[in-house]
Amino acid sequence: MDDALPTVTDEETWRRELAALRAREKAATRELDAIAAQRRRLPMVALPDYTLEGADGPVRLVDLFDGARQLITYHHMWSPGAEWQCGGCTGYTSQFTRTEFLRPYDARFVIVTQGPIAEALAYREKVGNRMDWFSTAGSDFGADVDAPPGGGFAVNVFLRDGESVYRTWHTTGRGTEQLGHTFSLVDVLPYGRQEEWQDSPDGWPQSPTYAKWLDSPDVAALYGPEA
């Protein structure tokens, strides 16, 4: 695979090919702008007054906003009794070490999991996660927003109006990619994600999906207390 290289060309040809690609990239950007505009026009659903568990004890859903009007929750998959939780969730949330930039936008971003809060906080420490964690183990909140016990990961967005909380948006699967920087950076590399499902030139390095993703022990080794 060491000899798998893009075609070498002159600068004029390179710039012409780059301009053609950029036209598609700009069209995609405009489409994402249009999607965001549609998202801002979505209706919303009123939620009941859920109580979750935080580091300091029970906490109402409305208080997760910490005074902000908007809230993003990442629902971290949880396997009871497992030494290592979902590698994808662990790696994905390790990206977010400084979320205070959301404050000027009147927003907060936290993790919610089905794991008991003591176990969740211990795992947070173990893998060096920097986000605020909350548990929905004793609440229907997770299940009601499409992240039930034994279920997959999810992202939800909420809006607070006084003491009332509304659900405004939800995604899962590859819908979460746009919210992180990992694949945004990897996708601009010449070899991309190097996963077998991707459309790449013959001879490009490729491996099974997830093969290059950090697993939970990798995250702990890089960012945990012993790192």
- Are the beta carbons of 166 and 175 closer than 8 angstroms? no
pLDDT digits (tens, 9 = 90+) for 110-135: 999 999 999 999 999 999 999 999 99
Q: What is the pLDDT of residue 1?
A: 54
Q: What residue ranges in 61-177 does DSSP mark as E strands? A: 70-76, 107-113, 133-135, 154-161, 164-171
Helix/strand/coil for 214:
coil
The CB density around residue 115, as the number of other CB atoms within 10 Å, is 25
pLDDT tens-digit profile of 4-18? Answer: 999 999 999 999 999
Q: Give burial (CB, 10 Å; 0-12/13-18/19+) of 70.
A: middle
Query: CA 122, CA 115: separation in Å to the nearest integer?
Result: 11
Domains of the chain with CATH codes: 45-177 (3.40.30.10)
Q: How confident is the model at residue 25 (pLDDT cuts 50, 70, 90)?
A: very high
Q: What is the pLDDT of residues 176-215, one digit of tens each?
A: 999 999 999 999 999 999 999 999 999 999 999 999 999 9
* Residue 39 exposed, middle or buried by CB count within 10 Å (0-12, 13-18, 19+): exposed
- At residue 3, the pLDDT reads 77
